[in-house]
């Protein structure tokens, strides 16, 4: 198992005639709230190329069967050690971060792209890995207690790759409570990168909060 990354694309539909100024977005003068805004398009690492188009009738970006019907192609890729969103523009006039789109781009959280009548914001939903450590983690120090990670323990692995002990009564029923390594309960944010340490999936950035 590993930390799960899902790209989520949140669309904002422009005003009548497409005259809304991108500088006022997301959600400033559109009349949309976080509750009523369109559902995001989700792209996972095992999805391959996702072909999508703007559906103004439903006010969503929707998946289609192939590139011939699509406004854009999207794919979750790894470049070096970083996961990015591959972006393939398929309609004229596409912009990425307010400039004309290249034939191929690698997007990440907080990037945006303009399709016909719609500007879309990219973010990432993360589910941190929780469980027995991988071979790569063995021997590394826990970021909280500095005790090396051993094979029999249970850890939470931050987005940045750092591990913290997370032994519980369920995971280690034969270990006395005072002997369990429960470092996760002592920290809310990673001591290496300051990102949230949580067992729940979370967004790195929520464009709906920028109203």
Q: Is residue 174 scored above 70 in pLDDT?
A: yes
What confidence tier does 121 reach under pLDDT thresholds 50, 70, 90? very high
| pLDDT for the residue 36 | 55
The whole-number average pLDDT for the span 58-76 is 95
Tokens standing for residue 130:
């929780």
Per-residue confidence (pLDDT) for residue 29, from 0 to 100: 46
Domains of the chain: 4-127 (2.60.200.20), 129-198 (3.30.40)
Which DSSP letter does residue 113 get? E
**What confidence category does residue 18 fall into, taking pLDDT thresholds of 50, 70 and 90?**
very low
Comparing 6 with 57, the larger pLDDT belongs to: 6
Q: Predicted confidence band at 149 (pLDDT cuts at 50, 70, 90)? A: very high
- Cα–Cα distance for residue pair 146/52, rounded to 1 Å: 46
Tell me the whole-structure pTM to 2 decimals: 0.80
1 pLDDT exceeds 70? Answer: no
- pLDDT, residue 15, reads 67
Give percent of the chain above pLDDT 70.
87
Say which range, 25-29, 62-66, 136-140, has the weakest mean pLDDT. 25-29
* Rounded distance between C-alpha atoms, residue 183 and residue 180, angstroms: 9
Query: What is the model's pLDDT at position 37?
Result: 64
Can you say how many angstroms the Cα of residue 205 is from the centroid of all Cα atoms in its chain?
8
Reading across the β-sheet that carries 50-55, which strands appear in turn? 60-63, 50-55, 72-79, 82-89, 105-107
């Amino acid at each position: 198992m590993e930390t799960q990354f899902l790209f989520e694309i949140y669309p904002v539909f422009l005003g009548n005639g497409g005259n809304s100024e991108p500088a006022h977005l997301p959600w400033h003068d559109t009349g949309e709230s976080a509750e009523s805004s369109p559902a995001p398009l989700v792209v996972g690492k095992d999805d391959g190329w996702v072909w999508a188009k703007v559906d103004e009738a439903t006010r969503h970006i929707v998946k289609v069967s192939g590139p011939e019907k699509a406004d854009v192609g999207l794919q979750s890729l790894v470049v070096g050690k970083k996961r990015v969103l591959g972006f393939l523009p398929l309609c004229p006039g596409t912009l990425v971060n307010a400039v004309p789109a290249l034939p191929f781009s690698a997007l990440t959280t907080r990037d945006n792209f303009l399709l016909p009548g719609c500007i879309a914001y990219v973010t990432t939903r993360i589910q941190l890995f929780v469980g027995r450590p991988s071979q790569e983690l063995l021997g590394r120090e826990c970021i909280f207690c500095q005790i090396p990670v051993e094979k029999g323990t249970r850890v939470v692995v931050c987005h940045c790759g750092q591990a913290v002990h997370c032994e519980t009564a369920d995971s280690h029923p034969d270990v006395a409570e005072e002997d369990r390594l429960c470092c996760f309960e002592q920290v809310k944010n990673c001591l290496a990168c300051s990102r949230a340490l949580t067992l729940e999936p979370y967004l790195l950035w929520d464009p709906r909060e920028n109203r």
